[in-house]
Amino acid sequence: MDGGPSAEAGSQVSLLPFSFAVDTAVRLGAVTVSNSYEVADTGDGPSFDHPGVLVTASAGDQGFGTALAPAVYPGVLAVGGTTLTPSSSSRGWAESAWQHGGSACSTLVPKPSWQSNLGCSMRTVADVSAVANPSTGLAVFCTDSSGGGWQVNGGTSAASPMVAGALTILHVNANPQYVWGHPENFFRHHRWIEWIYVLPRLSLQRGPWI
């Protein structure tokens, strides 16, 4: 779900409509729900915690700072951002943390038992990161009648659905704690994507299908 301009990071927009949408999607059989919007940290959101359903959320595009919901909720896999550029390495890509990729230490959400990082005694954001720098972002073909064609889009709002789709295709455990407890499972090549280990935990590289 894309909240659009009405759900800007740090705003006081109510999450109630989005909570209802997530609950409805799950009730209708969704196995994955991606959320591309951010509002001020609100403590916890039960509607975003559905055991067995992968719920991802963009961590924001303001760099390190205030934790944002719903990414900060313990039932959500928070997706940050990286910069991905071609290189002559065997991997074919060079990747680094994107300075605007959202990351934070919550002041309201307690630290889940499965988060092992130091330096933050509360819920840490993000859990995984994927290419999000708009300058090195995702190739998207737009069919909008007002001006379609190929575009390069970015932001963690693009990274969140990419991670959600990739993990669903790979049948990765939907619990957010899985990526923290099993980093060794993300060092291998796959037909569509390649995982590498970067701070804070994992990073998703785009593959030949982009």
Q: Give Cβ neighbours of residue 144 (< 8 Å, ≥ 6 apart).
A: none
| Assigned CATH topology for domain 4-205 | Rossmann fold (3.40.50)
Q: Quote the pLDDT of residue 190.
A: 43
Buried b (16+ CB within 10 A) or exposed e, 62-76: beeebbbbbbbbbbb
In Å, how far from its chain's centre is CA 126?
Answer: 8
- Which is it for strands 128-131 and 202-205: parallel, antiparallel or unpaired? parallel
pLDDT tens-digit profile of 133-182?
999 888 888 887 777 788 888 999 999 999 999 899 888 888 888 888 87
Q: Quote the pLDDT of residue 191.
A: 39
Q: Quote the pLDDT of residue 203.
A: 42
Low-confidence ranges of the chain (pLDDT < 70): 1-13, 184-210
Q: Quote the pLDDT of residue 94.
A: 85
Spans of all domains in the chain: 4-205
Global pTM value = 0.82
Q: Quote the pLDDT of residue 205.
A: 39
